[in-house]
Amino acid sequence: MSYKRAMWTSGYTYIATCSYCGSRVRYTDRDLGYRAWYPNGFVYCPRCKKPIRHNEFFALNPDGSRVYATQEQADRAVNEGYLKAAGFDRQIQPAEGTAYCTNCGRPYIRGTSSYCSGCGKKLD
């Protein structure tokens, strides 16, 4: 099963702080691991070996400044990236019977699946 974060890459470098030991961890999309309990991805802290949850808000520009000023901007960019990776254009009207996953927002046709193909969440 593939998880939603694996569908696209932003190409950014990220810096996150480990909440256990306080170490700063620099990583890229290629370093991310995926598990059902970390659907957006995670990296291990090199110092204490604890998993650190990935967040697109940790993205940095080449000059070291943050790419996104707010968490809402980061979330919007992630959702647009998922739609593009899945081949959906916002201009196209969804087919009749289309619903959206409440966890990741990926569209699906009602009655065709029990679980989201993007994040694995049980569908209504």
pLDDT digits (tens, 9 = 90+) for 40-80: 789 999 999 999 998 888 889 888 888 888 888 887 877 77
For residue 87, count other CB atoms closer than 10 A to its CB. Answer: 7
Q: Which two tokens stand for residue 94?
A: 């969804």
**Which positions ≥6 away from 20 have C-beta within 8 Å?**
45, 48, 50
Predicted pLDDT of residue 1: 42
How many H-runs (helices) and E-runs (strands) does the chain carry?
A: 1, 8
The residues facing 17 across adjacent strands are 24
Question: Which residue would you say has higher pLDDT here, 110 or 41?
Answer: 41
Question: Which residue would you say has higher pLDDT here, 88 or 58?
Answer: 58
The full DSSP string for 38-84 is EEEEEEE-TTT--EEE--GGGEE-TTS-BS-SSHHHHHHHHHHHHHH
**Cα separations in angstroms, 95 against 51, 89, 91, 92, 111:** 39, 13, 12, 9, 14
Is residue 4 predicted with pLDDT exceeding 70?
no
